[in-house]
Structure 1
Amino acid sequence: MTENLTVDFVSSISEVSAEEWDALFPIPYPFIRHAFFDALERGGSIGALSGWVPRYGLVYQRTQLIAAIPWFLKSHSYGEYFFDWAFAEAYERYNLDYYPKLVCAIPFTPSSGARLGLAAGWKAEQVLPTIEKKLDELAIAYGVSNCQCLYLEDDLKGEFIQRGWWQRDDVQFQWLNHDYSSFDDFLAQLTSRKRKQIRKERHAVIAQGVEVRVLLGGELDRQFWLEFAQLYQLTYLKRSGHHGYLTPDSFMRLGEALADSIMVTAAFCEQKMVAAALYFYSDNTLYGRYWGCQQEFDFLHFETCYYAGIEFCIERGLSFFDAGAQGEHKLKRGFEPIVRHGVYRFTESPLTPAIEGFCTRERQMLAQYRAQAEQQLPFRKS
């Protein structure tokens, strides 16, 4: 069955039709959809100027597309969130080139989900050898130091590890819906002190004259996206000194193409939008992604980025709320520590043994950190 397999690495998602690509990913994970990559490409958020150069892997058996996987040639480590700066610095100290590298990931999206799409009847183990062989050719052609697959699903992680890739872990914080009937039902499961604190924070937002509205993708027009992009860029400029990863044009395109998967919590003061958080959602998960504000209001970030999202999950019956990377402050608000994974394969160098050992020690350290974080959760003891 694995005879006559070939792999093409193409530089644009437009080189495969949306119907063919999406058929390989028959799951409601919004970030793997053809339209998501297309919006980033056409909007100028990914490409040569951004340091995210697409190399989508397309596996064919003769003329039939039977697998797809999104790879990017990277000249930096920004927008990945599975931080590898220590590796890059070590390479620099040894006068070795860490970049470019090949990364299988969803740009600017630290969220676990499907990375390898397969046609019916095919398994990862049948196509990975062919993909790896082509990766080896690309690595030689571009002088790549390593290949990474980030925030991948557990089954695919296991297949990569069996093939000798090294595992790294990351701890994120995810809210779980334990069949809550309302936000108050959720609060009732917290300790009295934490429950009072959250209510105080929510009331403080209202007392400042701020109204938070939940808007679905179909309600968002061009003017909204222009204002949201401005808030997003202003916030990144204050925090990081640049305008953020996504362009206004990409936001416009995402709003049009993925309207059925978008929710926004927008904050208004005196009828003017002063802050907003952009979410995507599937049939069981809410994904908190991008945030922007014009001016500071006490606790508004918590309201728009966490509490309103929790309410949305409860009302919609969504099981999970993935609020993004980092943020220990999420623990106090009921987000539980969970482990995410990445896998790595390095071209042989003097640093290879040290990096392999680092990955092992890091996983052990993060397991301890997760156990300690669980002790900080605000839930009442049963």
Structure 2
Amino acid sequence: MPETNPPLLKVLSSLDEIPSADWDSLANPGYPPILHEQAGWIDSPEMTQPEINQLPDSTPQGTSFNPMLSHAFLQALEESGCVGWDAGWIPQHLYWEENGKPVAAVPTYAKSHSQGEYVFDHAWADALERVGGDYYPKLQSSIPFTPVPGRRLLISPDVNRAKAVKVLTSGLMELTNRIEGSSAHLTFLTEQEWKELGDQGFLLRTDQQFHWDNNTYANFDEFLNALSSRKRKSIRKERKTALEHDIEVEWITGPDLSEAHWDAFYEFYKDTSSRKWGSPYLNRKFFSLLGERLADHTLLIMAKREGRYIAGALNMIGSDTLYGRNWGCVEDHPCLHFEICYYQAIEFAIAKGLKRVEAGAQGTHKLARGYMPNLTYSAHWIANPSLRNAVAHYLDQERQAVLYEQEILSSHGPFRQQDT
């Protein structure tokens, strides 16, 4: 018999509408919520990284802490104005609770463009608009401006997952219809979610990123010893070249992060953004909020010369993963980008016992530096039947091409057993 009281989904226009602990219980189940005093919340006891690394023993199987799914990170994007009406990222988070308890959620935005997503659908938009349709608005489930794989269907481990998947996917389709949108997109989701959404009629897409895996290395030299002789020599040469001209490197995290650090890094970020996108997606206020609320999960790797910061990379620290985010510089030095973004990140991960480094989107140049290709996943629901059929045909071919490229790249990795 059908349910007499079907689940009721709320649409949140801001994460301020629910307590952070409720969201975080879904986004990072089993981990303590990130709390701060500004909203009248009580601070949680401080935890060291080794203590955090032990938490998965008591968490649902397969989950790990991802700071960018947290209420603190997503709400900082909203409060700073990086997302909102003016940015064309309008919060429309799906949220399901029963008897006052959180059951499931999806970080969701209504969008008037396809910027800041890293899974490109511009050709789909052009095709629909050429025949007189409107591609925008659309729904986007992702972490804005952040091509980091992770969970998108934030489902409590205490409920029936199959039922929750159906409820959430139906909710996404209904919300798309209500905003008179063309489509709903969930990007950089997990492989499990990808398969579940495929079962619900979503179109399936793949791409790849380059990740470094920590094979329980004791130090950077032990990692180098796993590489072919030629690659090992090349990396040592790059590292030496990068730090010429008396360049020093600092790791800055936790209470050591200051507004002066963010001032310097924001200048780096603006320089990169102006060259890639024309204008930065993130504003200066966001970085202050990040340092205020997620300092223990934030790492700045900064290069200094003659007492002045000249380059830096922003990373986020998860329970088992270091997530490389943004890079920039105000002085150009050969190989400095490789040192700050890739080699220093590896050193930090080894020192802190992290399992991997995810260095962001794209970049086959990462392969020679120990970062191997990994598939990424996205799922798409398109309302227009003709466009849906055309995209489905295209994606069938694209998935095969991505798999073929991954196989070729993997066979040319830098490790000794892969050396050709």
**Same fold flag (TM > 0.5):** yes
Among candidates 240, 263, 267, match of residue 303 of structure 2 = 267
Show the 5 A alignment for 1:104-119.
104-119=141-156
Instruction: Determine if contact 1:124/1:159 at 8 Å carries over to the other structure.
Output: no
Counterpart of 2:24 in structure 1 is 22
CA distance in 2, matches of 1:130, 1:285: 30
Deviation track 1:106-141 (CA, whole Å, cap 9, x = no partner) reads 111111112122334213321233333333332222
Question: Which residue matches 1:246?
Answer: 282
Alpha-carbon spacing, 1:132–1:207, altered in 2? closer, same or farther (3 Å): closer
User: Using the alignment, how far apart are the partners of 2:196 and 2:282 within structure 1?
Assistant: 32
What is the CA distance between 1:65 and its match in structure 2? Answer: 2.5
From the superposition, tell whether residues 335 and 101 of structure 1 become closer, same or farther in structure 2 (CA, over 3 Å): same
1:73 and 2:110 matched: yes
Shift of 1:5: 1.4
Please give the secondary structure, in 2, of the residue aligned with 1:343: strand
1:190-209 paired onto structure 2 within 5 Å: 190-209=227-246
Using the alignment, how far apart are the partners of 2:184 and 2:276 within structure 1? 30
- AA partner of residue 20 (structure 1): D
Taking the TM superposition and a 5 Å limit, the aligned residue runs for 1:271-350 are 271-350=307-386
Q: 1:183 is aligned with what amino acid?
A: F
Q: Per-residue CA shift, 1:247-285, capped at 9, x if unaligned? A: 110011011111111111100000100111010011211
Distance, in Å, in 2 between the alignment partners of 1:136 and 1:163 is 11
Distance 1:260 1:146 in 2: 37
Q: Give 3-state SS (helix, strand or coil) of 2:95's partner.
A: strand
Residues 350 and 233 of structure 1: CA distance in aligned 2, closer, same or farther (over 3 Å): same
Provide the residue aligned with 2:189 in structure 1.
152
Structure 1 unmatched runs, 5+: none
> By how many angstroms is 1:197 displaced?
1.1
Deviation at 1:94, TM superposition (A): 2.1
Deviation at 1:165, TM superposition (A): 1.0
Instruction: Provide the C-alpha distance between the structure 2 equivalents of 1:65 and 1:332, rounded to a whole number of angstroms.
Output: 44
Q: CA deviation at 1:203?
A: 0.7
1:121 equivalent in alignment to 2:121: no
Larger deviation: 90-99 or 255-264? 90-99
Residue pair 2:169, 2:200 contacting (<8 A) in 1 also: no
* Whole-angstrom distance in 1 between the partners of 2:114 and 2:246: 40
Matched residues in 1 for 2:122 and 2:15: separation?
Answer: 29
Select the residue among 397, 403, 409 that pairs with 1:361: 397
Contact 2:214 2:355 survives alignment (8 Å):
yes
1:165 to 2:202 alignment? yes
Whether contact under 8 Å (2:140, 2:186) holds in the other structure is yes
Q: Taking every aligned residue pair, what percent have the same amino acid on both sides?
A: 37
Supply the AA of the counterpart residue of 1:49. D
Deviates more, 1:348-357 or 1:335-344: 348-357
Aligned letter for 2:374?
I
Please state whether the residue corresponding to 1:367 is helix, strand or coil.
helix
Q: Give the AA of the match of 2:235.
A: I
Aligned residues: 381
Equivalent-residue separation in structure 2 for 1:339 and 1:133 (angstroms): 26
Whether the 8 Å contact between 2:153 and 2:165 is mirrored in structure 1 is no
Q: Equivalent residue of 2:374, what SS?
A: strand
**Partner AA of 1:250 in structure 2:** F
TM-score by length of 2: 0.87
- In structure 2, stretches of 5+ residues that fail to align are 30-63
Superimposed CA distance per residue, residues 205-258 of structure 1 (whole angstroms, 9 cap, x where no aligned partner):
22222111111132111121122112211221133321x111110011011111
Deviations 1:63-82 (A, max 9, x none): 43211111111111111111
SS in 2 for 1:102: strand
Task: Determine if contact 1:112/1:151 at 8 Å carries over to the other structure.
Answer: yes
Cα distance in 1 for partners of 2:273, 2:83 equals 17
In structure 2, how many angstroms separate the alpha carbons of the residues matched to 1:92 and 1:32?
A: 33
| 1:131 paired residue number | 168
Question: 104-113 vs 125-134, which deviates more?
Answer: 125-134
Which of 11, 14, 22 does residue 13 from structure 2 map onto?
11
Name the aligned partner's letter for residue 162 of structure 2.
E
Q: Distance in 2 between matches of 1:180 and 1:288?
A: 20
1:74–1:100 contact (8 Å) kept in structure 2: yes
Distance across 1 between alignment mates of 2:26 and 2:277: 37
The alignment partner of 1:49 has SS state of coil
Q: Distance in 2 between matches of 1:179 and 1:250?
A: 35
SS of the aligned residue for 1:330 comes to helix
Bigger shift: 123-132 or 352-361?
Answer: 123-132
How many angstroms does 1:376 deviate by?
2.0
Q: Is the 8 A contact 1:124 1:156 kept in 2?
A: no
1:209/1:346 CA distance change after superposition, 3 Å: same
**Structure 2 Cα separation of the partners of residues 360 and 353 of structure 1:** 11
Q: Note the aligned Cα RMSD (angstroms).
A: 1.6
Determine helix, strand or coil for the equivalent of 1:207: coil
Say whether the 8 Å CA contact 1:173–1:326 is kept in structure 2: yes
Query: Out of 206, 219, 222, which is 2:259 matched to?
Result: 222
Alignment equivalent of 1:175, drawn from 212, 220, 223: 212
Report the CA distance between 1:287 and its aligned residue: 0.3
- The residue that corresponds to 2:57 in the other structure is none
Residue of structure 1 equivalent to 2:53: none
Contact (CA 8 Å) 2:310, 2:331: kept in 1 or not? yes
User: Counterpart amino acid of 1:299?
Assistant: C
- Among 36, 41, 47, the alignment partner of 2:78 is 41
